[in-house]
Each structure stands twice: as structure tokens, then as C-alpha cells.
Amino acid sequence: MKKRILIIGACGQIGTELTAFLRSKYGSHKVIASDIHKGDKEFMKSGPFEILDAMDYDAIQEVVIRHEITDVYLMAAMLSATAEKSPMKAWNLNMNSLFHVLNLAKEKKIDKVFWPSSIAVFGSTTPKVDTPQRTVMEPSTVYGISKQTGERWCEYYYNRYGVDVRSIRYPGLISYKTLPGGGTTDYAVDIYHKALKHKSYICFLNAETTLPMMFMDDAIQATVNIMETDKANIKIRNSYNLSGMSFNPEEITESIQKLIPEFTISYEPDFRQAIADSWPQSIDDSEARADWGWESKISLDEMTEIMLKNLKTDKE
């Protein structure tokens, strides 16, 4: 099989785990990790790595040609909370990197593209419960605007130039291996670290803020599944809704208290509350299930058990 993969943004929250998974599947030498800076020692030892700026078209093209890349996973992006602090920087990074990769595919230098979208494409006028695949979308964050615009361009490049681009609207992602960077859903990772370390957590969202979330293993499985399925099965070329679980800070607290009864939470909502309030509470992912067999496996209590067990071992 001629497949050779480039991951752009490989040192981030999803990129790190995606790189490890794809390397165990296809072999280390077939998966080129890249990022604007190096990863940790262990990561750097795990296979080929290139320093790569996702905004630099010539540099991406050079790496693609030198390594005879067929598939690109573009994981570099500025997330919702950080993007609000530097809107133009976020827009430039999120859009230019996407155009670079879509244009390489348009010029037939690569065969296939994975580009992550997000539940941030939805806004406060979207139905909040079981949000449908096709619905009102009026995102109010620069991150959400960039993801929604990106979705339109993905579909355009597929329709106009036949670019094989595949995408998922990720919910908040939770992992014990890597930390998230600058998102609104980050509290759901931080809370586990603080539960083990301090037995208490001050949450930047209020108790009732229900959001769609997913354990990282499920997200990686979905990402690889959508990229591996037959082209004919991909009926949606903007981005697929994807659902894992939904919970609010109070419910994740109750789940943690089953294993750490003395754990307490208090609330000091900040600017991220308004972002979270504009997003859905739960997602209807029936089209991903029907088209390419998506199925989530991990529930909130199962995730809590895995998170606390692994973070505890890390600290020992």
C-alpha cells in the first residue's frame, strides 16, 4: 500500500494521540508528524518529524513532495477561547492552513484530506438538543465562524474540483495523555487533574452548562474510520455531526465523587460561559452512523474511571 501520511499540528491535543494511533496501524516510517515546534522527547523518538508552519504553503508542499505524502490530517488550529483573544490571528491560521491543504489536493499533490470542524459551528439560534446535521448555524465566536466557513470551502472544493476532503464536527475532547489548549470545553480535562491533586476544582462554567463531549479514544477511532471508509460512503462533504456523551459540570462532579467522595467543585464563570451558552447541549449524529458506521463506545462513568486511574498512575 502506497499510503504515506502527514499530520500537521501533530504535537497538539488530538495530533499527539492521532500520530501514535496511525503509527501503530501503518508503521512509524509511514506517518510524518509535523508542528511549528518540537514535541517532548518520547514523541520525537517515535518516528519522523518535520518542523512545519501550517501557514507556509511552500514549506508544506516541500514536505509533501519529499515524503511522497498521500493523506494529510490538518490538526493545527486556534481553539475557541484563545481565538477570542486574537481574532485575526485565529482567522488567518484556521483559514490559510485549510486553503493550503485544499489547494495541494486540488493540484493532485495529495489524495485525501482530513480537516476537523467543531460543535462551535452552531450558535445560539441553533436547536440545542439533538442538534440536527442540517440546521440554523449562526456561530458567534471567531473559531466557530472559521470552522463554519471552512466547512463551506471543503464542500466547494469537493463539488468544484473533486477534492476528497473528509471532516467531523468534534465535541469537547477528553484525554489523560495530552492537555487541551485554549478551548471552552477544557474544564472537563482540568477537573480530573485537580480532583486528584487538590480534591477540589474552581470551574469557569456554571453547574448547568451541558455540552457535547467525547473521550479521545472514540474521537481517534472516528477520525480514522471516516478516512478509511470508501469514498462512496461519504455523503456529506462539509462536516459530519458526531456525538459521544453530554454532561454538565455538576454531572461530571457526581461521576468523580463515585471514586473520590471528598471531591468538591465551586463555580466562577468567566468569558467562556457565553461561548458555552451559544453551543448545543447534545448532537444528532445519525448520518455518521448510517454512512460510515460510527458508534461511540465510552460513557461518562467509564471515562471517569479511565481518567482517574491513568492520571493517578502518572503522578505515582
Cβ proximity to ligand AKB: between 253 and 278 the closer is 278
The set of cell numbers assigned to 147 is 470552522
Task: Find the catalytic residue in 26, 57, 73, 143.
Answer: 143
Q: Is the Cα torsion angle 219, 221, 224, 225 positive or negative in sign?
A: negative
Residues from 175 through 194 that contact ligand AKB (CB under 6 A): 183-185
Q: How far lies 2's CA from each of 30, 67, 176, 284, in Å?
A: 9, 11, 33, 36
- Helix then strand then coil, in percent of the chain rounded to 5, is 45, 15, 35
Burial environment of residue 76 by CB neighbours within 10 A (0 to 12, 13 to 18, 19 or more): buried
Within 13 A of 253's CA, how many CA atoms are on the CB side?
Answer: 20
Binder among 63, 119, 195, 226 for ligand AKB (CB under 6 A):
119
Grid coordinates belonging to 208: 448547568
Shortest Å, Cβ 4 to ligand AKB: 28
CB of 74 to ligand AKB, least distance (A): 14
143 labelled catalytic: yes
Residue 172's SS3 state is strand
Rule CB under 6 A: say whether 172 interacts with ligand AKB: yes
Shorter beta-carbon distance to ligand AKB: residue 147 or 166: 147
| Binding residue (CB under 6 A) for ligand AKB from 114, 115, 122, 170 | 170
Phi, psi dihedrals of residue 52, rounded to the nearest 5°:
-150, 130
Q: Which is nearer to ligand AKB, 255 or 278 (CB)?
A: 278
Q: How many residues touch ligand AKB (CB under 6 A)?
A: 11
Identity of the residue, 170 or 247, whose beta carbon is nearer to ligand AKB in the bound complex: 170
Q: Does position 79 bind ligand AKB by CB under 6 A?
A: yes
Helix, strand or coil for residue 225?
helix
| Smallest separation, CB 120 to ligand AKB (Å) | 5
- The least distance separating ligand AKB from the CB of residue 173, rounded to whole angstroms, comes to 6
Q: How many CA atoms lie within 13 A of 81 on its CB side?
A: 16
Residue, CB closest to ligand AKB: 183
CB of 141 to ligand AKB, least distance (A): 8
Which single residue is written with the C-alpha cell 462512496?
232
Query: In the complex, which residues of this chain contact ligand AKB (CB under 6 A)?
Result: 79-80, 118-120, 143, 170, 172, 183-185
Catalytic residues: 143
